[in-house]
Amino acid sequence: MPTPDDERFEIYLKQFHPLVPDPMPTEGRGQASRRSFVLRAWFAAVAAILIVAAIGLHIRSNRVAAPNTAIEAASPVVPLQPLTMRSANALLATAPSFKAVVDGLAFRSESLTLPKGEQSALAVLGKEKIKL
Amino acid sequence: MHRHRRNTAEIEFLYRQHGSALLLFALAITGERGRAQDAIHQVFLKLIENGSLSQAVDKKAYLFACVRNAVLNEGKRDDRNTQLEPDSVWFIPPDRDYARERNLRRALGVLPDDQREAIVLHVWGELTFSQIGDLMGISSNTAASRYRYALAKLRDAMFAKENFCANS
């Protein structure tokens, strides 16, 4: 039979708490795998953002290029000749609207091709380094 | 896969719940912190690998039995009393009184191995005498009487020492 002394002594002994053991090796492994999973997730997210940005830039550059081709397609009637009063009058007479004529005249210099052996004075001046 | 994860989670929970008492029990047998800790890790890792804990009816008693077998199967233990590491702390004492902790540890170290095991299993492991009997291969009555005898010796050793310290 346990005596009151025994019970008191047991209570006294229970005030001493055993030490906590080291964490289990699997817990460390679990944390490491969780950490590597988080890292992999971050890398995946960054890669996804870069891909989306690249696709966005690609689409945007195509959109910027599109108006030139549209204008070129919309103004096949514009002859690739130097602009004179005569040609301008001819354009005004044949074009569907005044705006179409102005657009055609505005973009025609870009599509102007020079004969072989000749070059644009503006292009030459643009290349030269002028020292003042 | 899901079942294995659930089993691992349960074993980790049991480790957190009973790890301290199991470590103390292993310390009481081996007397060395490193060996005690290794034995516990070995037991729990095996349980995770085999998933055999789900078959145990009394999980707590089963864990203590596994730890005891792991330590004894090491083959490093002989018949004489365990030599306890003098500087190895076993407990967090009340009021951080490490003189009393040392006193308790020394008193436990004086007890024969089977009595020390009975004390640790009942006081800190909170096992019944029936469980202790099953674990140690003795009857519950023998376990109870072994415990009472050990408790009396422990009390005498501790208070004799404390009185001695107080008087000196």
Which residues of chain A have a CB within 8 Å of the CB of B152?
Answer: 6
How many Å apart are CA B46 and CA B62, to the nearest integer?
13
Are residues B12 and B74 located together in one domain of the fold? Answer: yes
Residue B128 CB neighbour total at 10 angstroms? 15
Judged against a pLDDT cut of 70, whether residue A106 lies above it is answered with no
Q: pLDDT by residue (tens digit) across A74-102? A: 555 555 566 777 877 887 888 888 887 77
On whether any CB of chain B is under 8 Å from the CB of A10, the answer is yes
Number of structural domains found in chain B: 2
Say if B37 falls within a structural domain: yes
Q: How many residues does chain B have?
A: 168
- Tell the residue number behind the tokens 């060395």, with chain if given: B32
Measured CA distances, A25 to A31, A101, A129, B15, B74 (Å): 10, 80, 71, 12, 20
Taking an 8 Å cut-off on Cβ atoms, the answer to whether A17 and B20 are in contact is: yes
Whether B111 contacts B121, CB under 8 Å: no
ipTM of this complex prediction, to 2 decimal places: 0.85
More confident residue, A110 or B28: B28
Are residues B109 and B73 located together in one domain of the fold? Answer: no
* Mean of per-residue pLDDT scores for chain B: 87
Which residues of chain A have a CB within 8 Å of the CB of B92?
Answer: 16-19
Judged against a pLDDT cut of 50, whether residue B168 lies above it is answered with no
Judged against a pLDDT cut of 70, whether residue A72 lies above it is answered with no
Say if B85 falls within a structural domain: no
Are residues B66 and B117 located together in one domain of the fold? Answer: no
Q: What CATH number has the domain bearing residue B72?
A: 1.10.1740
On whether any CB of chain B is under 8 Å from the CB of A13, the answer is yes
Q: pLDDT by residue (tens digit) across B72-91? A: 887 555 544 566 777 788 99
Provide the residue range defining the domain that includes B49. 1-79
Q: pLDDT by residue (tens digit) across A34-49? A: 566 677 878 788 888 8
Q: Of chain A residues 18-77, which have a CB less than 8 A from chain B?
A: 18-22, 24-27
The residue type found at A88 is A
Judged against a pLDDT cut of 50, whether residue A12 lies above it is answered with yes
On whether any CB of chain A is under 8 Å from the CB of B19, the answer is yes
Say if B89 falls within a structural domain: no
Q: What CATH number has the domain bearing residue B143?
A: 1.10.10.10
Identify which of A10, A13, A19 has the shortest CB distance to residue B92: A19
Are residues B67 and B133 located together in one domain of the fold? Answer: no
More confident residue, A59 or B5: A59
Are residues B100 and B69 located together in one domain of the fold? Answer: no
Which residues of chain A have a CB within 8 Å of the CB of B45?
Answer: 24-26
Say if B159 falls within a structural domain: yes
Q: pLDDT by residue (tens digit) across B36-55? A: 999 999 999 999 888 777 77
Are residues B8 and B53 located together in one domain of the fold? Answer: yes
Taking an 8 Å cut-off on Cβ atoms, the answer to whether A18 and B155 are in contact is: no
User: What is the least distance, in Å, from the CA of B153 to any CA of chain A?
Assistant: 11
Are residues B116 and B144 located together in one domain of the fold? Answer: yes
Q: Which tokens sit at B18?
A: 């009973």
Contacts of A27 by beta carbon, 8 Å cutoff, 6+ apart: B12
Integer-rounded Cα radius of gyration of chain B: 17
- Return contacts of B53-62, CB within 8 angstroms, 24+ apart: B53/B7, B53/B10, B53/B11, B53/B14, B54/B7, B58/B131, B59/B14, B60/B14, B60/B18, B60/B125, B60/B127, B60/B131, B61/B127, B61/B131, B61/B134, B61/B135
Q: Which tokens sit at B27?
A: 């310390």
Taking an 8 Å cut-off on Cβ atoms, the answer to whether B94 and A16 are in contact is: yes
pLDDT tier for residue A64 given thresholds of 50, 70 and 90:
low
